[in-house]
Homo-oligomer: A and B are copies of this chain.
Amino acid sequence: MKLSDVVLTLEEIAPPELAEDFDIGRIGLTLDLENDIEKIAVALDPTEYVLKRAADIEADLLITHHTLIFNAVNRIDKALADVLKIALDNNISMYSMHTNYDRAKDGINDVLAKRIGLENIEETDMGRIGTISPCSAENFANHVAKSLDTHVWYTGKREEVSKVMVFGGSGFKSEFLETAREHGVDAYVSSELKHDIIRSWDDMLLVDATHYATENPGMEELCPRLEEKLGIDVEFIDHNPFIRTL
């Protein structure tokens, strides 16, 4: 199967024009070897570990959520060269879908909402809002931790939760929390919670469920969808950063 045909399918799943402006230049083929594709690997990040695994399983294309080269470069350092060498020697092209896949139907945020078990789901520009059976803040945090198999870190004054907004990745931004407040949300689940956000938005329950655990499910569920659409083998590579808490 031609790489360009795979790209057409990927653009149907996550139309590049859905991406945020800051993602310009970061969506699509980030390493374009114009090769034929018989097998695809999918992962959250293009780490060296992930590339090695992709080579082991003889993938021809690696699809990730985060791009290989975030800030444009004029120089290639050893770390980037090491990753590139694995890709070039094993003829693995690379493709990135980021905020376009966050927004897309059945993308990062939809999968996240589903994993947490939200009902009556409403789409906002980026996150998803839904309901759960009313429970205490602590029980809700516990439920999130179990659903996503992760540590969580939470704060805020809300004691009972029934309306929830989820936002995969780094979603504790005022503009999105504003949306949550306007919708009467009790708990906001995302990651990378910062001090200034806690100070301004603690009338809600703020649950930091890690960047990895809120986005990884969306990439995992991409695999069966792709297999069905393309009729070729698609394999997920899990590379969890091992976070501990005390």
Contacts and interface: CB of A to CB of B under 8 A. Distances in A.
A145 interface: yes
Contact of A25 (B32, B74, B154): B74
A154 B74 CA distance: 31
A118 to B, nearest CB: 19
A74 B241 CA distance: 25
Contact of A141 (B29, B155, B212, B244): B244
Interface stretch (A5-13, A52-60, A62-70, A125-133): A62-70
Interface string A52-90: 000000000000001101111111111101001100110
Contacts of A138: 244
Number of copies: 6
Contacts of A66: 196, 199
A28 B75 contact: yes
Interface residues of A, number: 58
Interface stretch (A107-115, A187-195, A226-234): A187-195
A152 interface: yes
Interface in A135-157: 138, 141-142, 145, 151-155
Interface in A89-104: 89
Nearest to A214: B195
Contacts of A28: 75
Given A151-B153, A244-B155, A245-B245, A30 B75 contact: yes
A75 B69 contact: yes
Given A31-B75, A72-B72, A152-B246, 20 more contacts: A26-B74, A29-B75, A30-B75, A32-B81, A33-B78, A70-B74, A70-B196, A71-B74, A72-B73, A76-B84, A85-B88, A88-B88, A145-B246, A151-B245, A153-B245, A154-B244, A155-B243, A192-B192, A198-B241, A245-B245
Closest 3 CB pairs of A and B: A195-B211, A72-B72, A25-B74
Interface of A: 25-26, 28-34, 45, 47, 66-67, 69-79, 81, 84-85, 88-89, 138, 141-142, 145, 151-155, 169-170, 191-192, 194-196, 198-200, 202, 210-212, 241-246
